[in-house]
Amino acid sequence: MTEVFTGNFTQQEPIPEEGIAAAVAVMRSGRLHRYNVAAGEAGEVALLEREFADYLGAKYCLAVASGGYAMGAALRALGVKPGDKVLTNAFTLAPVPGAIAAVGAVPVFVGVTEDLVIDLEDLAAKADQADVLMLSHMRGHLCDMEALMALCDARGLRVIEDCAHTMGADWKGRPSGLWGVMGCYSTQTYKHINSGEGGFLVSDDAELMARATILSGSYMLYDRHLAAPAPEVFERVKYHTPNVSGRMDHLRAAVLRPQVRALDAQCAAWNARYLKIEAGLRGTPGLKVIDRPEAGRFVGSSIQFLLLDWGEAHIKDVVARCQTRGVELKWFGGKEPVAFTSRYDSWRYAPSAPMPASDRILASIMDMRVPLTFSLEDCALIARIIQEEVRAVHHIVHGG
């Protein structure tokens, strides 16, 4: 009998009871705005910022309305101006080039390798076009961060890290987000902690963080932060930094604080599920598993594999066959954007020359969420279904 998976690929775990209780307390107080605090009260947002900074080992942390807002604030804090070019990954999601375009800058796309990380050779070739690299750790794949930073430091490139998919990950023990001058995180529902929308900006650079804090809409209330630079740093920048409001509120912060405390355990749970699926996919004809480097600690909240050099019709056949059996695969190689999947050449506000080597890889990328609501048995079943359907189409195309 043909096996069918009946789970939901968009169903998240419930918010922890501690977070629900804290959110109810905020609502009962009526003080949802981050700067609306009682005398002597720190407030949920300021406490969350300090706790997330402590979790990472960062000096400063700012909670904001979204990960996309965090990227925009980072670009503005670095002084990126309209017309400036900013390097970024060709394999990423639309909010990354969107953040660059939103400040009037011009995205310049850098190629992707078969390991789904930024192509350092292509980065070196394009490094003289910009002063800033918006590095997207797309779908949780970390490149060799030591090699990247050596290249960027030698070329004078300042690095902003998009860590939407790497909260809880590191390279050789150093967390993602702490390699560049600023790190950006998302707390949108499908990320590693969930407040519906939200994000963080972290840095060890006091002046950059003072600018970002004023940009976020602090007015002159920056003394109500617990993970911010000293007041004299704000004095240097406050007259020259615009207010582009994007604050997080107490309600979302209350929901997030217990999730930060549970983050390492959640990451371990994701990886157990990821590894179960990965093991089930290995050895499938025509399917390339992405090998994770030992130097990096990843968080397997989604999984990717490649169907290299398969035609569009055959990839769509695999997607349709899996969908019929309850498994939702997303394809990043389609010519038209679908849901969250899109390619660099579909962002027509950021024209780019073709990159044939990267185009071949992008045309092959299959993507699947791995919710924590799945059991290990679910993951084994999902892997069997994918393997069977890839084998079936591969047999049709290649025989044997």
pLDDT tens digits along 215-262: 999 999 999 999 999 999 999 999 999 999 999 999 999 999 999 999
Task: Identify whether residues 95 and 200 lie together within a single domain.
Answer: yes
Task: Identify whether residues 187 and 209 lie together within a single domain.
Answer: yes
3-state secondary structure of 161: strand
Which pLDDT value is given to residue 1?
Answer: 61
Contact 314, 395 (CB under 8 A): no
Burial of 39 (0-12, 13-18, 19+ CB in 10 A): exposed
Give the residue, 354 or 375, on which the prediction is more confident: 375
- 203-to-42, 177, 206 alpha-carbon distances in Å: 21, 8, 8
Pairing of strands 199-203, 182-186: antiparallel
Q: Which CATH number characterizes residue 117's domain? A: 3.40.640.10
Q: Considering only CA atoms, which of 112, 70, 61 is closest in space to residue 95?
A: 70
Last residue of a domain, one of 226, 261, 296: 261
The answer to whether residue 4 is domain-embedded is: no
Task: Identify whether residues 255 and 176 lie together within a single domain.
Answer: yes
pLDDT single digits (tens) 257-290: 999 999 999 999 999 999 999 999 999 999 999 9
3-state secondary structure of 257: helix
Between CA 328 and CA 314 the distance in angstroms is 16
Q: Residue 353: pLDDT band by 50, 70, 90 thresholds? A: confident
Between CA 389 and CA 366 the distance in angstroms is 13
pLDDT at 300 exceeding the cut of 60: yes
- 302-to-31, 171, 263, 283, 340 alpha-carbon distances in Å: 36, 19, 16, 20, 14
Task: Identify whether residues 186 and 104 lie together within a single domain.
Answer: yes
Contact 265, 192 (CB under 8 A): no
pLDDT at 335 exceeding the cut of 90: no
The answer to whether residue 9 is domain-embedded is: no
Last residue of a domain, one of 243, 261, 279: 261
Give the residue, 285 or 398, on which the prediction is more confident: 285
* Rg, C-alpha atoms of the chain: 22
Contact 78, 160 (CB under 8 A): yes
Task: Identify whether residues 65 and 125 lie together within a single domain.
Answer: yes
Last residue of a domain, one of 261, 295, 330: 261
3-state secondary structure of 178: coil
The answer to whether residue 188 is domain-embedded is: yes
Burial of 341 (0-12, 13-18, 19+ CB in 10 A): middle
Average pLDDT over the chain reads 96
The answer to whether residue 6 is domain-embedded is: no
Task: Identify whether residues 280 and 172 lie together within a single domain.
Answer: no
pLDDT at 115 exceeding the cut of 90: yes
Q: Residue 325: CB partners within 8 Å, gap ≥ 6?
A: 2, 3, 4, 5, 385, 389
- 141-to-137, 261, 320 alpha-carbon distances in Å: 5, 23, 26
The answer to whether residue 388 is domain-embedded is: yes
Q: Which CATH number characterizes residue 314's domain? A: 3.90.1150.10
Between CA 92 and CA 109 the distance in angstroms is 10
The answer to whether residue 3 is domain-embedded is: no
The residues facing 61 across adjacent strands are: 202
Task: Identify whether residues 122 and 30 lie together within a single domain.
Answer: yes
pLDDT at 400 exceeding the cut of 70: no
Q: Residue 395: pLDDT band by 50, 70, 90 thresholds? A: confident
Task: Identify whether residues 174 and 37 lie together within a single domain.
Answer: yes
The answer to whether residue 11 is domain-embedded is: no
pLDDT single digits (tens) 306-329: 999 999 999 999 999 999 999 999
In residues, how long is the chain? 400
Task: Identify whether residues 178 and 270 lie together within a single domain.
Answer: no
The Cβ-side half-sphere exposure at 139, using a 13 Å CA radius, reads 27
Task: Identify whether residues 210 and 105 lie together within a single domain.
Answer: yes
Task: Identify whether residues 245 and 335 lie together within a single domain.
Answer: no
Mean pLDDT along residues 46-72? 98
Task: Identify whether residues 136 and 54 lie together within a single domain.
Answer: yes
pLDDT at 147 exceeding the cut of 70: yes
Q: Domain range for residue 335?
A: 263-398
Expressed in percent and rounded to 5, the helix, strand and coil fractions of the chain are 40, 15, 45
Domains of the chain: total: 2
The answer to whether residue 1 is domain-embedded is: no
The answer for 98, left when phi > 0, alpha when psi is -120 to 50, beta otherwise, is alpha
Contact 212, 184 (CB under 8 A): no
